[in-house]
Amino acid sequence: MQKLSKQQRIETLDSLYTAASSVKGRAAMKLFLRDLLTESERVMLGRRIMIARRLISGATHREIADEMGVGTDTVWRVDTWLKDQMPGYEEAIKGLEKETTRRNTVRARRVSMHPLAVLKRKYPLHFLLFPWPKDLS
C-alpha cells in the first residue's frame, strides 16, 4: 500500500464517514458493513464494542479477557481509548444500551400478551368482523 499524503488521507476518511452516515436503518447498515468488511473484521469490531460495554459496566480486564477469549492487550487498548475521552465508543455503547432496552421491552410485551391480542395487533382489520372479548385487552 502506498503512503497517503495528509490530504489524501483526509479525503479517504471523509468518503468513509460520509458513506457510513448516509446509511439509514439497521438492515441497510448490516448490508453496508457486510460488503465493506470481511467477516473477521466485523467480528473484531463487534468484540471491541462488547469489551467497551463490559469495561463501562465495571468488569475487570482479566474477567473480560477470560470470558471473551481475547488477549489482555486488546482489553487494555479499548480501555485506553475509553479513558482518552474518545466519545465514539461511549456514544455507540449508549445507543446500544438504549436499543437493547427497547428490544427487551418489546420482547417482554410480546411474551406477556394473550395470543388473541397478538393476532389483533398483527391483523387489526380482521377484528372488525369479530367481537373482541372484554377480558383480553
- Predicted confidence band at 127 (pLDDT cuts at 50, 70, 90)? confident
Share of the chain above pLDDT 70, in %: 91
Is the predicted pLDDT of residue 64 greater than 90, yes or no?
yes
Give a yes or no: residue 97 inside a domain: yes
Give a yes or no: residue 9 inside a domain: no
Highest mean pLDDT among 3-17, 105-119, 123-137: 3-17
- So what's the pLDDT on residue 135? 59
Count Cβ atoms below 10 Å from residue 51 Cβ, excluding itself: 26
Spatial separation of the C-alpha atoms in residues 118 and 109, rounded to whole Å: 10
- So what's the pLDDT on residue 59? 93
Spatial separation of the C-alpha atoms in residues 61 and 130, rounded to whole Å: 59
- Measure the N-to-C terminal CA separation of the chain; round to a whole number of Å: 64
- Domains: count for the chain: 1
Give a yes or no: residue 49 inside a domain: yes
Angstrom CA distances, 74 to 21, 65, 68, stand at 27, 8, 11
Domain range for residue 86?
A: 38-130
- Predicted confidence band at 136 (pLDDT cuts at 50, 70, 90)? low
Q: For the whole model, what pTM was predicted?
A: 0.63
Give a yes or no: residue 108 inside a domain: yes
Give a yes or no: residue 24 inside a domain: no
Spatial separation of the C-alpha atoms in residues 78 and 49, rounded to whole Å: 9
Give a yes or no: residue 4 inside a domain: no
Alpha helices in 2-86, H assignment, sequence order: 6-22, 26-36, 39-56, 61-68, 72-83
Q: Coil, strand or helix: which one is 21?
A: helix
- Can you tell me the mean pLDDT for 72-95? 83
Alpha helices in 57-86, H assignment, sequence order: 61-68, 72-83
